[in-house]
């Protein structure tokens, strides 16, 4: 007899199912991807370049990113542009969004991928808890400032690289920066992903009639550099233990490209995918009453960077 798990636990079996890919091309389509210097973002960038998209990479480290830009250009002969911004600094996110929006009036794809995992509580120069700052606040601000360009490019797609780790919970609207509770890295990571799910759902509703689709995806549990900033012990654990349980990140790149390009997803918005399979996120990340509150609080936190001329 085949085991049928309750809807909220189906992520366990979804991880094991075969995933979809597409041969659809994206020639002439402008696609912005954040964090392409390693792991999932790099693999996704390869897929977009292979599919003929005009790729716009947003990275923080020019020395790491420039050789990748050159390599993808040489290998696939497509246009690959590079913008530099550290997502710990919202003023840099705002600046880079301005630069991109001027250079690319029409954008067809935006993949919010850049992310970080910290074992200990760390703050950004702006004073935000770093995981929340890089994963949630930066992607929220970048997306908001590129919305008009996405509308100009419609039908277009925004994709958030989320995580099944949102199921760890940890989100507290009154303590988004973890100054009231003992910090637990996995919960802080889960909290940032939950905040992102809430606001992505609001955005999907706001953009329903605009031709801009908004979805989230878990890219699989894959071998990347995530967490490598957490000291020698974590690095050794990740390199020599964790890696045996993880898959190759190229699968995540294919899944992201599928969700960004495949025609079967035309008009699909406000959904969460486990790689390419639609599934239900944890109930506390899609509470209808909560999502507008998270949106409002997030907007409050990034408000200084939403105003012109600041």
Q: Which residues pair with 54 in a beta bridge?
A: 30
Q: Which two tokens stand for residue 256?
A: 């992201």
Select the span of 12-20, 58-66, 231-239, 254-262 touching ligand NAP (CB under 6 A): 58-66
Q: How many residues bind ligand NAP (CB under 6 A)?
A: 29
Per-residue binder mask for ligand NAP (CB under 6 A), 110-149, x = binder: ---xxxx-----------------xx--------------
Is the CB of 140 or the CB of 153 nearer to ligand NAP?
140
Per-residue binder mask for ligand NAP (CB under 6 A), 180-209, x = binder: ------------------------------
Distance, CA of 10 to chain centre: 22
Per-residue binder mask for ligand NAP (CB under 6 A), 214-233, x = binder: ----xx-xx-xxx-------
Per-residue binder mask for ligand NAP (CB under 6 A), 26-55, x = binder: ---------xxxxxxx--------------
Select the span of 45-53, 59-67, 171-179, 232-240 touching ligand NAP (CB under 6 A): 59-67
- DSSP-assigned letters across all residues of 102-157: HH-S---EEEE------SS--B-TTSSBHHIIIIIIHHHHHHHHHHHHHHHT-SEE
- Judged by DSSP in three states, 273 sits in strand
Q: To the nearest whole angstrom, how small is the minimum distance from the Cβ of residue 58 to ligand NAP?
A: 7
228 to 27, 103, 183, 299: CA distances (angstroms): 35, 34, 18, 30
Tokens 């409002």 correspond to 296
Select the span of 5-13, 17-25, 86-94, 208-216 touching ligand NAP (CB under 6 A): 86-94
Select the span of 82-90, 201-209, 285-293, 299-307 touching ligand NAP (CB under 6 A): 82-90
Give phi and psi for 110, each to the nearest 5: -135, 120
| Residue 14 touching ligand NAP (CB under 6 A) | no
Is the CB of 78 or the CB of 250 nearer to ligand NAP?
250
Is the CB of 159 or the CB of 207 nearer to ligand NAP?
159
Choose, by CB under 6 A, the member of 5, 7, 62, 64 that binds ligand NAP: 64
For 218, how many CA atoms within 13 A lie in the half-sphere containing its CB? 23
93 to 63, 114, 138, 235, 246: CA distances (angstroms): 19, 12, 6, 29, 31
Q: Which residues pair with 214 in a beta bridge?
A: 158
DSSP, res 60: S
Q: To the nearest whole angstrom, how small is the minimum distance from the Cβ of residue 238 to ligand NAP?
A: 10
Select the span of 60-68, 201-209, 273-281, 291-299 touching ligand NAP (CB under 6 A): 60-68
- DSSP-assigned letters across all residues of 11-43: HHHHTTS---------TT-EEEEE--SSHHHHH
Q: To the nearest whole angstrom, how small is the minimum distance from the Cβ of residue 244 to ligand NAP?
A: 13
Tokens 């997502």 correspond to 87
Give phi and psi for 99, each to the nearest 5: -60, -45
Residues forming the site for ligand NAP (CB under 6 A): 35-41, 59-61, 64, 86-88, 113-116, 134-135, 161, 163, 218-219, 221-222, 224-226
């Amino acid at each position: 007899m085949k085991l049928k798990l309750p809807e909220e636990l189906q992520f366990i079996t979804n991880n094991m199912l075969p995933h979809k890919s597409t041969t659809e091309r994206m020639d002439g389509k402008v696609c912005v991807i954040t964090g392409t210097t390693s792991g999932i973002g790099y693999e996704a960038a390869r897929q977009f370049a292979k599919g003929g998209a005009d790729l716009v990479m947003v990275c923080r480290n020019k020395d790491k990113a420039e050789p990748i830009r050159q390599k993808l250009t040489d290998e696939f002969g497509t246009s690959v542009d590079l913008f530099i911004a550290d997502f710990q600094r919202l003023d840099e996110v705002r600046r880079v969004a301005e630069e991109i929006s001027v250079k690319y009036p029409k954008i067809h794809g935006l993949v919010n991928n850049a992310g970080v995992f910290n074992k200990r509580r760390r703050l950004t120069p702006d004073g935000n808890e770093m995981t929340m700052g890089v994963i949630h606040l930066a992607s929220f601000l970048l997306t908001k400032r590129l919305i008009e360009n996405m509308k100009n490019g419609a039908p277009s797609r925004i994709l958030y690289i989320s995580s099944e780790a949102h199921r760890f919970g940890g989100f507290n609207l009154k303590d988004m920066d973890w100054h009231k509770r003992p910090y637990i890295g996995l919960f802080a990571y889960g909290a940032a992903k939950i905040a992102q799910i809430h606001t992505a759902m609001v955005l999907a509703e706001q953009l329903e009639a605009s031709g801009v689709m908004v979805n989230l995806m878990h890219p699989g549990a894959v071998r990347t550099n995530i967490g490598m900033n957490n000291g020698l012990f974590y690095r050794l654990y990740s390199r020599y233990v964790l890696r045996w349980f993880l898959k190759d990140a190229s699968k995540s790149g294919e899944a992201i490209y599928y969700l960004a390009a495949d025609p079967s997803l035309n008009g699909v918005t406000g959904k969460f995918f486990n790689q390419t399979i639609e599934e239900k996120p944890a109930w506390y990340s899609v509470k209808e009453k909560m999502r507008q509150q998270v949106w409002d609080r997030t907007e409050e936190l990034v408000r200084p960077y939403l105003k012109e001329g600041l």
